[in-house]
Structure 1
Amino acid sequence: MHDRNHLNFHCDWQFGFSVRSVLKGTVGYLLDWSGCGGLNLKRNIEVWNPFSNSGQKVVSGRTIKCIGLIENFRYEAGPTDPIRIKAYVSKETASDIRARLARPLTNPRLKLAWYIIDFDEADKLWFEAAYLKSPKTAEASLDSTGGDLQIFVDNHHTRISDTLDIAVFGFEFQVVPADKKKSTLEFATGSKLRLVKQWGTGK
């Protein structure tokens, strides 16, 4: 669920991998991630789209292709506040990230996009809870804490569930707006309540 004071979303990533129509939950997708000197992650995970109706603007169709399923999205809602995302990605993607992190990252710039949907129990409707309104991908830079760039990938896999023997790997990173770039982010806490935030200060 989200926190109204901060725009934090805890997503049911396991539900996202194995959607059953009788269940509802908050589901997040890492749609795009490219930069940092050639680390261009592929949308090599395809999962069922639980929303899949005319109210959906960001994606459409019965399935969603993504880089990973989001577990946590954290943002304190200020124009220069960092965004921290933890997602679960494929073995191939985790290997690509590990290979890139084996040598120094000289350029922390990247482009990324995320998408979170949720279910309004009162109105019995799915709604788009977090996405990029404009542009479709945000220009960002990896954040650093104490001189360490905030990008990590698990060495050990996590199984999706006891019944699905599919291994995924945790991928966590923290980004801030790229210098002189801004994005318009849209959030919602229900099917009728929307909140627009500017991320970045522009020129």
Structure 2
Amino acid sequence: MGTTGDNNFDFDCDYRFGFNVDPRGKATVGYLLFWSGCGGLNLKKDIEVWNPFNAPGQTAVTGKKIACIGLLESVRFSGEEDAPMRFVAYVSQGAAADIRSKIGRPLTSTTLQMSFYVIAYDDEKKQWYEAAFSKDKKNMDANLDTTGGELQIFVSKTPTRISDTLDIKVYRFEFQVVPAKGKTATLEFALGPTQRLVKQWKSGGDA
């Protein structure tokens, strides 16, 4: 959990815990809250899960439930202001079908808006804290990244079962984004309840 180096903001999230209703557990959990763009791919918040935080100090999301597009497995971000961010999430069958249909044809646009949210638990202080999110509840303006000429967006055709006891099947959704030109997102990261760092995410050379 947390960072893997002085400047890296990498989070490994327990998406299975995010679907679980056991309030006794503690883990790092991430949510894909918003994803819309690429010429009309507007993913619905069709997953509703319990909110393990749900206490004073939570600002990005509040309440007993969190409505989201998917549960995150990982976030990878080196920390530079124009660096790509890579997300792996698990989404519903409906969302996976929508993504598969859209990327099965050439995209008319690679621009999108998105937001994500990661919460974690501090064992020493015995409290939840907000580990990563876009400040002021604003969406991030982004572009799908390209590596070797390939757009970095994938969705699995094979479902993953959440557990042996829950008959819920989800699909792995992976994408990598870079800041949209001329746009700036303000992201906040934390290594604990009191250690916070605000980062500007914007394309290189833009004011």
TM-score tier, shorter chain, comes to: over 0.9
1:25-64 superposed matches below 5 A? 25-64=27-66
1:93-112 superposed matches below 5 A? 93-112=95-114
Which of 150, 157, 171 lines up with 1:148 in the alignment?
150
Per the TM alignment, residue 19 of structure 1 is displaced from its structure 2 partner at its CA by 3.4
Q: Does 1:160 align with 2:162?
A: yes
What residue in structure 1 maps to residue 116 of structure 2?
Answer: 114
**3-state SS, counterpart of residue 108 of structure 2:** coil
What residue in structure 1 maps to residue 2 of structure 2?
Answer: 2
Q: Does 1:183 align with 2:172?
A: no
Per the TM alignment, residue 135 of structure 1 is displaced from its structure 2 partner at its CA by 6.1
- Is the CA contact (8 Å cut-off) linking 2:115 and 2:139 kept in structure 1? yes
Q: Separation in 2 of the partners of 1:2 and 1:83?
A: 15
Q: Separation in 1 of the partners of 2:165 and 2:126?
A: 29
Q: Separation in 1 of the partners of 2:93 and 2:112?
A: 21
* Aligned residue identity for 2:101: A
Per the TM alignment, residue 165 of structure 1 is displaced from its structure 2 partner at its CA by 1.1
Q: Separation in 1 of the partners of 2:123 and 2:180?
A: 37
Q: Does 1:66 align with 2:71?
A: no
* Aligned residue identity for 1:188: A
What residue in structure 1 maps to residue 198 of structure 2?
Answer: 196
Q: Separation in 1 of the partners of 2:125 and 2:52?
A: 16
Q: Separation in 2 of the partners of 1:193 and 1:22?
A: 25
Output the TM-score relative to the length of structure 2.
0.96
Q: Separation in 1 of the partners of 2:81 and 2:136?
A: 15
Q: Which moved more, 1:18-27 or 1:171-180?
A: 18-27
* Aligned residue identity for 2:108: T
What residue in structure 1 maps to residue 23 of structure 2?
Answer: 21
**3-state SS, counterpart of residue 152 of structure 1:** strand
Q: Separation in 2 of the partners of 1:77 and 1:170?
A: 25
Q: What is the CA RMSD across the aligned residues, in angstroms? A: 1.0
Per the TM alignment, residue 67 of structure 1 is displaced from its structure 2 partner at its CA by 0.1
What residue in structure 2 maps to residue 86 of structure 1?
Answer: 88
**3-state SS, counterpart of residue 3 of structure 1:** coil
What residue in structure 2 maps to residue 172 of structure 1?
Answer: 174
Per the TM alignment, residue 182 of structure 1 is displaced from its structure 2 partner at its CA by 0.8
5+ long unaligned stretches in structure 2: none
5+ long unaligned stretches in structure 1: none
**3-state SS, counterpart of residue 24 of structure 2:** coil
Deviations 1:147-178 (A, max 9, x none): 11000000000000111111000000000000
User: CA 1:116/1:103 → structure 2, altered by over 3 Å: closer, same or farther?
Assistant: same
User: CA 1:182/1:26 → structure 2, altered by over 3 Å: closer, same or farther?
Assistant: same
After the TM superposition, which parts of structure 1 deviate over 3 Å for at least 4 consecutive aligned residues? none
Per the TM alignment, residue 134 of structure 1 is displaced from its structure 2 partner at its CA by 4.5
Identity %: 54
Q: Which moved more, 1:47-56 or 1:2-11?
A: 2-11
- Is the CA contact (8 Å cut-off) linking 1:86 and 1:172 kept in structure 2? yes
Q: Which moved more, 1:90-99 or 1:17-26?
A: 17-26
Q: Separation in 1 of the partners of 2:99 and 2:79?
A: 28
Per the TM alignment, residue 102 of structure 1 is displaced from its structure 2 partner at its CA by 1.2
